Structure 1
Amino acid sequence: MRRKAVFFCLLILSATDLYSQKKESPVSLKVDSGYVEVEGGKLFYEVAGAGETIVLLHDGILHSVVWDEQFPVLAKNHRVVRYDRRGFGKSFNPQTPFSHVDDLNLLFNQLKIDQAIVFGMSAGGGMAIDYTLKYPERIKALVLVGAVVSGYGYSTHFLTRGGHINSLVEYLDPPKFIKYFGWEDPYEIYPENVKAKEKFLSLLEANPLNVNGALGYFAQPPERSAVKFLSEIKVPALILVGEFDIPDVHAHSGVIEAGIPGSKREIIFKSGHLIPLEQPGAFNVSVLRFLNGLEFFDIFNSQGVAAAVQYFHNKRQTEPDIVFFEESEMNALGYHFLQNGKIKDAIEIFKLNTIAYPDSGNVYDSLGEAYLKDGQKDLALKNYEKAVELNPGNSAAKQVIKELKQGK
């Protein structure tokens, strides 16, 4: 019974990944496809775009099509690779014991990927973590979506889907499984996202044999429980979780955030587990901001504030809508400089925030404070007035304005 429970747990995690409401189909996207040879089988893959490599790891009943809306978007500026794991999609069914991590490493080797940014959904996120711990030199960054981590475990609430399921064996039957997770489960897809449910069903019903692949027969567990070794991961990591995802996934994401130094967790509103299917726009915004920020913060950390500021302005000239960071992220960084006496650096950071978020009164308030500490009262007044214009309820800024004007 324990083995069935483990398989069922993998099945639930699989369903976490179903994808894509409306496809973006740019006519210019050139896609190459083929098979990677692995011991005892073949893995189907697709590659598009050029530049730094992104590898997309699916988890779920659906195989690599879960990334349909991300694949063309990411391929605009990256070389993007997605593939079907054993037992899914166009890849071969496993007949002997195998390791998903070893298969992924073979894919890296055969497609000549030295280093990549890896996206992993649900148990695919756990797989990405396991791979990073084994081959840290091959990973530049991680995007973990509704991810789980090996060794942390699952509650009875998770295994019974909050009491909605009474029999594990009953839902190993593909038609029943598809019906339950397509329409009845309250966590896979936020109940109000009806179009997402319809898309989920159409994709799942087209690939019912993937349910058997999700059972995980012949798949070997990772060499060590990753939860104990998360601190070994030293690359940037973005963790995305749906607002209405099941509590266990939120718990896992919190453990991952606490364990990976410097990682960042975001909650995507009005989404269950299947964020890219339910909220592809919000998902892409968060991911692109993270990807754009990788180079910006690389330059910032290695070359300093001035070089990062110059990079920001250069990129904005050709891509005026590009976003590198969250408002709160840069605000915190600016105050870090301010509190450490680096007022000029703080001013430059706050100025970038006013360019990136011109409709936020808070960014002008922060810049005004930095100018005031630098003794530039005219610029401080100008920015405090802008802060009040955008946020008339900012009583603290009004008081500073009053004091500045009285001091003239």
Structure 2
Amino acid sequence: MDLHYEIQGNGEAMVLLHSGGADLRDWQWIAPQLAQSYQVIAFDGRGAGQSPPLLDPANYVEELRSLLNHLHIDRAILVGHSIGGQIATDFALAYPDRVIKLVLIAPGLSGFQFSPEIQQQFMQIKAAVPDAEKMTELMLAQCLYRVVMTSQARNLMIDMSRHNIQRSFEWKTFEMQWTQPPTIERLNELQPETLFIIGTEDMADNLHVAELFQQVPHIRFAYLKGADHMPTLTHADEVSQLIRQFLKP
């Protein structure tokens, strides 16, 4: 296993999957709290943090399975943020017997089409290649980061984003393989008990994804007032408390 990971605590296994443009620092204020009761595994996805670059089309679901196998973990609680939530959801559909419970924080959704406005913002960032500083500036100017960029986590957010944008220059491909048919067509098949956490100040596209997840049979929702797309950094205590309460027997 060549992915970089860190383990804290003892107990039932819990795997944390970070957001896009981030790395395991996404969890630096949450992992220690959860590690008081669980064995918490946080890892850098391929191409991010300290993990190797993306050289072949990414299959994040199978990489998660490989990580669990490497650690001899048969079943785990999955906690996924943004694209990490998309990976966790796809994994739960592919390998339901290996998921104890599912926690999704402002997750992505396979098959979801972003609005033209968001697609245009992505294109502007792409057009700034290879100016990492400009790309970072454009990315963090998006509405979904307006809260974190005025918080005490601002410098961490900038450093983490800049680092992972620079890491993306090492990638040989940006192709990603997701579950087929896409998860957006199969949400009613999701079996694990699920907690969906999202900030009220997240962008409209992500709030629409929350509406789509209402199809999931065993799901509860928590809306964090005043949080944007990064509640893991700005509302770490509230997120940790919600997760602990959800996991109580």
TM-score calculated relative to the size of structure 1: 0.57
Instruction: Give 1:92-131 correspondences, 5 Å limit.
Output: 92-131=52-91
Per-residue deviation, residues 14-50 of structure 1 (Å, max 9, x unmatched): xxxxxxxxxxxxxxxxxxxxxx2xxxxx211111111
Per-residue deviation, residues 308-355 of structure 1 (Å, max 9, x unmatched): xxxxxxxxxxxxxxxxxxxxxxxxxxxxxxxxxxxxxxxxxxxxxxxx
Shift, 1:54, TM fit: 0.4
Question: Does the C-alpha gap of structure 1 residues 260 and 212 become closer, same or farther in structure 2, counting only changes over 3 Å?
Answer: farther
Structure 1 portions without partners, runs of 5+: 1-35, 37-41, 296-408
Hey, what's the Cα distance between the residues in 2 that align with 1:88 and 1:192?
Answer: 21
Shift, 1:233, TM fit: 1.4
Hey, what's the Cα distance between the residues in 2 that align with 1:170 and 1:231?
Answer: 38
SS class of match (2:3) = strand
1:181 and 2:129 equivalent? no
Question: Does the C-alpha gap of structure 1 residues 74 and 229 become closer, same or farther in structure 2, counting only changes over 3 Å?
Answer: same
Tell me if structure 2 keeps the 8 A contact 1:240–1:267. Answer: yes
Tell me if structure 2 keeps the 8 A contact 1:62–1:210. Answer: no
Hey, what's the Cα distance between the residues in 1 that align with 2:199 and 2:243?
Answer: 14
Instruction: Give 1:194-205 correspondences, 5 Å limit.
Output: 194-205=151-162
Hey, what's the Cα distance between the residues in 2 that align with 1:137 and 1:87?
Answer: 28
Shift, 1:204, TM fit: 3.0
**Corresponding residue to 1:280 among 231, 236, 241:** 236
**Corresponding residue to 1:253 among 196, 203, 210:** 210
What is the match of residue 384 of structure 1? none
Letter in 2 for 1:179: E
Question: Does the C-alpha gap of structure 1 residues 285 and 129 become closer, same or farther in structure 2, counting only changes over 3 Å?
Answer: same
Question: Does the C-alpha gap of structure 1 residues 214 and 154 become closer, same or farther in structure 2, counting only changes over 3 Å?
Answer: farther
Hey, what's the Cα distance between the residues in 2 that align with 1:255 and 1:204?
Answer: 28
Shift, 1:185, TM fit: 2.3
SS class of match (2:90) = helix
Shift, 1:142, TM fit: 0.7
More helix by share: 1
Shift, 1:76, TM fit: 0.7
What is the match of residue 92 of structure 2? 132
Instruction: Give 1:35-50 correspondences, 5 Å limit.
Output: 36=1, 42-50=2-10
Aligned residues: 248
Per-residue deviation, residues 221-241 of structure 1 (Å, max 9, x unmatched): 333201111111121111111
Hey, what's the Cα distance between the residues in 1 that align with 2:163 and 2:30?
Answer: 20
Shift, 1:243, TM fit: 1.2
Letter in 2 for 1:178: T
How large is the RMSD of aligned CA atoms in angstroms?
2.2
What is the match of residue 245 of structure 2? 289
1:70 and 2:30 equivalent? yes
Instruction: Give 1:164-313 correspondences, 5 Å limit.
Output: 167=124, 169-173=126-130, 174-182=132-140, 184-190=141-147, 193-212=150-169, 217-256=174-213, 258-292=214-248, 295=249
Shift, 1:172, TM fit: 4.5
Tell me if structure 1 keeps the 8 A contact 2:92–2:192. Answer: no
Hey, what's the Cα distance between the residues in 2 that align with 1:230 and 1:261?
Answer: 8
Hey, what's the Cα distance between the residues in 2 that align with 1:215 and 1:265?
Answer: 38
Hey, what's the Cα distance between the residues in 2 that align with 1:71 and 1:137?
Answer: 24
1:83 and 2:47 equivalent? no
Hey, what's the Cα distance between the residues in 1 that align with 2:110 and 2:226?
Answer: 27
Tell me if structure 2 keeps the 8 A contact 1:158–1:246. Answer: no
Shift, 1:198, TM fit: 2.7
Tell me if structure 2 keeps the 8 A contact 1:189–1:197. Answer: no
Letter in 2 for 1:282: E
Question: Does the C-alpha gap of structure 1 residues 98 and 132 become closer, same or farther in structure 2, counting only changes over 3 Å?
Answer: same
Using the aligned pairs only, state the percent identity.
25
Q: Rg: which structure is higher?
A: 1
Hey, what's the Cα distance between the residues in 2 that align with 1:279 and 1:220?
Answer: 31
State the structure with bigger RCO (CA 8 A, min sep 6), 1 or 2: 2
Shift, 1:278, TM fit: 1.4
Hey, what's the Cα distance between the residues in 2 that align with 1:101 and 1:286?
Answer: 25
Per-residue deviation, residues 131-165 of structure 1 (Å, max 9, x unmatched): 1110000001111011121112111132235xxx7
What is the match of residue 306 of structure 1? none
Question: Does the C-alpha gap of structure 1 residues 65 and 216 become closer, same or farther in structure 2, counting only changes over 3 Å?
Answer: farther
Tell me if structure 2 keeps the 8 A contact 1:142–1:235. Answer: yes
Structure 2 portions without partners, runs of 5+: none
